[in-house]
Amino acid sequence: MIMITGLTHEVTFSQGLSLPIYSDYLTDNYYLVHPSMAGASNFNKARLTARQQWFDVKDAPSLQTLSVNGRVNEKVGLGGIFYNDSNGRFSQQGAYATFAYHLMFSRSTAEINQLSFGLSAGILQDKLDQSGLNTVGDPDPAINGLQQSETLFNLDFGVSYFFLDFFAHVTFKNVLPQQRRVFSEIFETDNQRQYLASVGYTITPLESRWIFEPSVFFQHREALSQSNIDLNAKAYYQLSVGQVWGGVSYRRALDGIDFAAPGSEAESQNLQYISPFLGFNYNRFMVAYTYSHQAFSEVISTSGFHQITIGYDFGSNRKRHKCNCPAVNY
């Protein structure tokens, strides 16, 4: 039975030997999720995000990321990600380096037919602060009262495909078996593998400034048999001074969570998140805001989760296709 951890399912699901996965990819940041997107766009990209959960809760989870990716020649892309993830006494810092290879099958600039592969190598450091916990007369032998840390290594592999207005991504995270020592072996397996998949389509009405992009994102953690799915609706509107875009994401856990409040029987609920977002591109700059609301009866706080993303596109414009595929052409 999951007690309090069941109330923070998005945190516990994402925590492991990898960058936590929220709705960052919808704010022009697919590279955070899929390594095959390194250098896939017409510009090189730098993106900085800051996410804070529950402003009214002390030591609430927070996440900061910095990602840079770009194309170095016609087929090769490179990228790097740095992040800091903290949650009370637990924190994790990590860095990823990515190599991507892009194959173009397009017959002309009027279409896109691109297959991409990406491999990321990550170095992660876990920290667990147990200081001040062993203050009772009969202390828990599993708590040594020290600050523990360890460094781990793992690999992610991904594939992306763009054809006309259709796109799909598949990523395998944490391919290598690894077990953290800062947690007892009783509580955690060495199987940290996760499977991610995204599918979407862009719709452009004739002679319109609008682009509509429905998509689906699926995430599965193998060892815990936990899965969730995102249903996303995103729209872009072209202005004379830039582009404004936004939408909403609905995340639902496919597995129920058991919890029990004091004096009551155990219940099971499927966690749900609703995340509206809004962004604006001006010249080579972008800014976006995302708010996530946890639609769940048992919550620690109702203040929600807030995220700011800022970015800058640099390098020469490699736009070659006439497709309305924002992840590649914008």
**Structural domains of the chain, with CATH:** 4-329 (2.40.160.40)
Identify the pLDDT of residue 227.
93
For range 296-321, the mean pLDDT:
77
Query: Which residues of the chain form beta strands (DSSP E)?
Result: 44-53, 62-71, 76-87, 90-104, 113-129, 147-163, 166-173, 194-201, 210-221, 226-239, 242-253, 257-259, 267-269, 272-282, 285-294, 305-314
pTM: 0.85
Identify the pLDDT of residue 139.
60
Rounded percentage of the chain residues whose pLDDT exceeds 70: 76
Name the phi and psi angles at 140, rounded to 5. Answer: -75, 125
Q: Which of 12-21, 91-100, 278-287 has the lowest mean pLDDT?
A: 12-21
- The pLDDT tens digits of the residues spanning 142-179 come to 566 667 788 889 999 999 999 988 999 999 999 998 87
Cα(143)–Cα(131) distance, integer angstroms: 9
Identify the pLDDT of residue 13.
41
The better pLDDT of the pair 40, 107 is held by 40
How confident is the prediction for the chain on average, in pLDDT? 83
Question: Which residues, listed in sequence order, are joined to residue 209 by a DSSP beta bridge?
Answer: none
How do strand 210-221 and strand 226-239 relate by DSSP bridges? antiparallel
Cα(313)–Cα(203) distance, integer angstroms: 24
Amino acid in position 256:
G
The gap between the terminal CA atoms of the chain, to the nearest Å, is 46
Identify the pLDDT of residue 17.
63
For range 64-83, the mean pLDDT:
94
For range 6-22, the mean pLDDT:
55
Q: Has residue 47 got a pLDDT over 60?
A: yes
- Assign 6 a pLDDT band (cuts: 50, 70, 90): very low
